[in-house]
Amino acid sequence: MKNQLGLLLRVVVSVGILAYLFNNILQDETETALQPLAAATAPPVAAPHGLTAPQARRIYTACRELDPEGRPVINLSKLPRRERLPLVWKIGPGQLRQSFQKVSLGWFVLGVACMGLVCYCGVVRWQWILGVQGLRLPFWRTASIFFVGLFFNAFMLGSTGGDVIKAWYVAHETHHKKAEAVATVVVDRVIGLLVLFVIALIMMAAFYHRVFDDVKLRWFAVITLAVVVVTVGGTALTFWRGFADRVFGLRGWLQKLPKYDTLRRMVEACRVYARHPVVLGQTALITVGVHLFSMLAIVCIGNGLGVRCAHGLVDYFLYLPIINSVTAIPISISGFGVREGMYSVMFGQVGVAASLAVAMSLLGYLATLFWSLVGAGFYLTHRKELPPAGTMPPDA
């Protein structure tokens, strides 16, 4: 019941943020579309964008004003909400659609290819991590399970469905070593997050004057730092043997948890990696490649949309690690809303229109979604190899 309520809350948060964000973007797009009304020297006779003549005159009379530079503009905020919302949702979507239509197919395909390299590096990294636990799988089979997990992460509400499926597949194919299989998924996730955080911190340190001089970016930076501290602290405690016995009552509380023995085995499996620094170093390096190709995919999509940032590639490599770090927090479903809002705010600082920033975010998600659909093919092919729950061993 608690899980369902938490999931419902995340859905509500996602929908709420997206509705608020798109309402603001559509209002901006509608105001841009209605700027010819502002330039008129008298109430218009013709009505643009499907408006009636009385509507056009009403907007001209109520919403026309001068901006700080003395130019006439349309400010729809002067309309009552009951008039503004229908107008915004009538004209705005068509204008926003034009932003998506600007994307060059060639650049978008290149972005999809970069996401494919992200997946390839992810498969290699996970195979190395599996090897530490003695879980030896052929590369093609590891890739198959990886893509099945990618499919479930994309299409199941929640952020762990794909990880559970990956653990089940590996446990089934390696004599049901479920605790070790789950440990590989956890370690894979943690390494990915820690390297992302390190990249974000390096970029924030290199351009601290830009990040901390802006109030909005400062808050994003603070959130990122908080996430880093919590993740690093949790990881350190996991690898600290005997920590549970040093805190009064902690061991007894842990022993009351369901499947405590499986949890203990999983923690022990995670600690194995501390004895393999070479593997950890290799996985950290290839994870840099994962995040680099992920950011290059957005660069390609941005170029395809005609996005021009004030500082070029620097803006992408400064903002994207911060955005990805914050959206890693399970606030909403798959980061929807939070991610688009951050794209809009951050890239807006360097002259990118909100509609283009959101289009860049959503097209980036579509590039990832393409590879999730590849996972659907693997799932349909191999789904019979997933064991029913009744056949799992007692510790599963």
Q: What are the CA-CA distances from residue 2 to residues 91, 162, 179, 336 (Å)? A: 41, 20, 24, 22
Three-class SS state of 362:
helix
- Are 111 and 43 found together in one domain? no
Instruction: Determine the pLDDT at residue 159.
Output: 47
Residue at 2 is within a domain = no
Q: What are the CA-CA distances from residue 320 to residues 192, 194, 339 (Å)? A: 15, 15, 10
Distance, CA of 307 to CA of 347 (rounded, Å)? 10
- Are 89 and 168 found together in one domain? no
- Are 171 and 33 found together in one domain? no
- Are 109 and 33 found together in one domain? no
- Are 134 and 205 found together in one domain? yes
By DSSP bridging, strand 64-66 and strand 72-74 are antiparallel
Three-class SS state of 74:
strand
Provide the number of structural domains found in the chain.
2
Which amino acid does the sequence have at 267? V
DSSP state, residue 1: -
Instruction: Determine the pLDDT at residue 42.
Output: 77
Q: Which of 73, 101, 129 corresponds to the end of one domain?
A: 101
Burial class (CB in 10 A: 0-12, 13-18, 19+), 8: exposed
Residue at 84 is within a domain = yes
Residue at 396 is within a domain = no
Q: Where is 72: in which H helix or E strand?
A: strand 72-74
Three-class SS state of 156:
coil
Q: Where is 16: in which H helix or E strand?
A: helix 2-33
Residue at 1 is within a domain = no
Mean pLDDT value of segment 205-217: 79
- Are 221 and 234 found together in one domain? yes
Q: Which of 101, 129, 152 corresponds to the end of one domain?
A: 101
Structural domain of 24: 7-101
Burial class (CB in 10 A: 0-12, 13-18, 19+), 131: middle
Q: Determine what percent of the chain is predicted with pLDDT higher than 70.
A: 80
Distance, CA of 320 to CA of 200 (rounded, Å)? 8
Residue 1 has pLDDT above 60, yes or no: no
- Are 129 and 210 found together in one domain? yes
- Are 361 and 307 found together in one domain? yes
Residue 330 has pLDDT above 70, yes or no: no
- Are 236 and 326 found together in one domain? yes
Instruction: Determine the pLDDT at residue 260.
Output: 64
- Are 273 and 139 found together in one domain? yes
For residue 19, give every residue at least 6 positions away whose Cβ sits within 8 Å of its Cβ, in sequence order, or none.
none
- Are 60 and 148 found together in one domain? no
Between CA 345 and CA 355, with CA 350 as vertex, the angle to 5 degrees is 55
| DSSP codes joined into one string, 170-219 | HHHHTTT-HHHHHHHHHHHHHHHHHHHHHHHHHHHHHTHHHHHTSHHHHH
- Are 191 and 80 found together in one domain? no
Q: Which of 101, 121, 141 corresponds to the end of one domain?
A: 101
**Using 50, 70 and 90 to split pLDDT, how confident is the model at 395?**
very low
